[in-house]
């Protein structure tokens, strides 16, 4: 660094300081929130769509050995369009905790899923906000009543040589 001019050395110092000083804001989902806007769509009341709602249980943590010890989990929440011809429109993805309090809404504008597409929300293992009885509510619309969307959660965790995984499926409300 002896051969670098003073202003180059100052620029490198400034850049390195900025790089290490920035603290990353905790993401609430590994699916970038900006992408929800890219998926948004305007729907008209004149569109003849069949509306529905689905409940999905999700576990941020589960009890282990007793009611005083819990084990945290990573949850992958899948929103699946099972139609091979029509899009699915999802109006809300609302995440509630064990007490029934709304934790967060992932989007407030309708989004679309193309035929046979899956979109996921990831609840990180260190996100305990949902607790042992977390829930999602999805409000959605479809063109054909035979092709309701499918909602599923996969919970997984590992510790040492032990691992746990299980799934839950959504039910129509």
pLDDT over 50 (residue 23): no
Q: Is the pLDDT of residue 12 over 80?
A: no
Tens-place pLDDT, residues 33-66? 657 778 888 887 767 899 999 999 999 998 888 8
Residue 149's nearest CA partner among 96, 109, 111 is 111
- pLDDT reading at 154 higher than 90: yes
Residue 159: the pLDDT is 79
Give pTM, 2 decimals.
0.78
| Alpha-carbon torsion (64, 70, 76, 80), positive or negative | positive
pLDDT bucket at 1, cuts 50 / 70 / 90: low
CATH of 27-172, one of 2.60.40, 3.40.50, 1.10.10, 1.10.3470: 2.60.40
CA–CA separation, 26 and 138 (whole Å): 24
Nearest-CA neighbor of 70 among 136, 152, 125? 125
| pLDDT single digits (tens) 85-138 | 999 999 999 999 999 999 999 988 899 999 999 999 999 998 989 999 999 999
């Amino acid at each position: 660094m002896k051969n670098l001019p003073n202003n180059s050395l100052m620029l490198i110092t400034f850049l390195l300081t900025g790089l290490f000083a920035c603290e990353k804001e905790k993401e609430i989902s590994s699916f970038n929130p900006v992408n929800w806007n890219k998926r948004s769509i305007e729907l008209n009341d004149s569109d003849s769509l069949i509306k529905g709602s689905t409940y999905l249980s999700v576990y941020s943590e589960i009890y282990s050995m007793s009611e005083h010890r819990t084990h945290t989990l990573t949850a992958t929440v899948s929103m699946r369009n099972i139609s091979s011809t029509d899009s699915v429109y999802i109006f809300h993805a609302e995440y509630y905790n064990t007490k029934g309090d709304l934790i967060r809404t992932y989007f407030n504008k309708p989004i679309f899923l193309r035929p046979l597409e899956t979109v996921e929300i990831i609840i990180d293992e260190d996100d305990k906000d949902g607790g042992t009885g977390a829930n999602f509510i999805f409000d959605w619309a479809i063109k054909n009543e035979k092709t309701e969307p499918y909602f599923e959660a996969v919970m997984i965790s590992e510790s040492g040589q032990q691992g746990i995984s299980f799934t839950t499926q959504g039910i129509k409300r």
